[in-house]
Amino acid sequence: MSEIAVIDIGTTKIAFASAKIENAKLKINFLRSYSSAGLKKGKIVDMEAMSTSIKRALQDIETTTGLKVKKAYVCVSGNDIKGMYSNAAVRVRKKEVTEQDIDLAIEAATAMRIPSDRQAVHILPVEFIVDGVNGIKDPVGMKALRLEARVYIITASSSHIQNIVTCCNKAGVEVEEIVLQSIASSEATLTEHDREIGTVVVDIGGGSTDIAVFQDGYLKHVATYGIGGNHITNDLAIGLKIPFREAERIKTQFAVAMPDVSFGTLKFKENEKEIEIVGLDKHSIKIPLNVIKEIVYARCEEILEIIKKEIDSIPLDSISSAVFTGGTSLLQGFISLAEGFLSIPARIGKPDAGLMEMAYELGLDETPFNEEEIEGIYHPEFSSTIGSFIYAIKTRDFNDSTSGFERVFNRIAMWFEKGLKKFI
């Protein structure tokens, strides 16, 4: 397999990575993050700053490693993303379902009218219905008269996607495909079991929160909100009257999302020890830790309330677990707080789950690398970056070892990529 490059564009950081499958092993050649500029709440507000951020990072990569990135899968947080189901049925011509019948059904299901201000970013297989029997993932070879395909189409703002592509092009990179952060993070952190039992994946980035809900093995719902870790930092900067950079340091070193619990009630310790911070006038001041905790807790509570309302709005039987990724998920006490708010088990999602499952599915080395080889590869902040690789490999790898449903996934992706070239 040829080299795959990924550019993961976020509000606070841009992550770059390159990898390929070689000798039955996924070899990651490069993984690093750089400061991002030009994005606010997941939306582009300064295209020149964004292009410059990408270009400077590419120059550093070429200088330090000799690697020239000319084409890449680009992972972004969706701007006003929406998901919709589409069904279409065809007559099975030879009374036995063939690959051609599947292609016709998929093409019919995806031939829906999309508003001019929106653009299809992902078309994902859900199921096939054969003569009224639903829940079928690979109908090839089945005796039937009628085949119906059901797909999940995710759309985003056309201007947002096209602006991202323009920024990459200005920096000298051709966009192979856009991958939404919610899809990428899910690929990295979920197992097939997670997808079956009902799991919500929440990627809390610097400026946005991306949500994806899975049940019965496939994606049921996606959503994005313009709130993230930067809002916690900004609250600390305003509340403590300190520079933003100092607030980020305080959040990283001292922030606690979950207050103390006493007899079923939440409270903050009185007269807790003080820490020394640098104020706007560059003079040192002392602030009690409980003040910092109160500020952080209030914003974390708001983020979790948004997630809970989104989950409650979905007509599903049940959600069995929650997987959180992104830097904010690492705040001390955040997972415990999330479990209390959502009333379901929660965990931090790391890319190892997706990597191990992909290795198993494709017959690769089940332990593709040690974390010491590539620093931070299993860190939640790189979940969407590594997930973009997994997505790219799934859509590129088209061999006999791939399962029937994966072949369908690949066929949709390949068909969709041809159509996408019209826009990028």
- Give the count of domains, the chain: 1
Is pLDDT at 394 greater than 90 in this prediction?
Answer: no
Question: Which range marks the domain in which residue 106 is found?
Answer: 82-155
Is pLDDT at 406 greater than 90 in this prediction?
Answer: no
Output 30-37 pairs: Cβ under 8 A, ≥24 positions apart. Answer: 30/61, 30/65, 30/67, 31/374, 31/375, 31/376, 31/377, 31/382, 31/385, 32/61, 33/381, 33/382, 34/60, 36/9, 36/10, 36/11, 36/12, 36/206
Q: What per-residue confidence (pLDDT) applies to 401?
A: 43
pLDDT band at 400 (very low <50, low <70, confident <90, very high): very low
Residues 6+ apart with CB under 8 A from 396: 1, 4, 410
97 lies in a domain? yes
- The span from the CA of 273 to the CA of 258, in Å, is 17
Paired with 32 in beta bridges are: 16
127 lies in a domain? yes
120 lies in a domain? yes
pTM, 2 dp: 0.85
* pLDDT tens sequence across 139-188: 999 999 999 999 999 999 999 999 999 999 999 999 999 999 999 999 99
Q: What per-residue confidence (pLDDT) applies to 268?
A: 57
pLDDT band at 79 (very low <50, low <70, confident <90, very high): low
110 lies in a domain? yes
230 lies in a domain? no
326 lies in a domain? no
94 lies in a domain? yes
The CATH number covering residue 128 comes to 3.30.1490.110
- The span from the CA of 412 to the CA of 151, in Å, is 9
199 lies in a domain? no
Q: What per-residue confidence (pLDDT) applies to 413?
A: 52
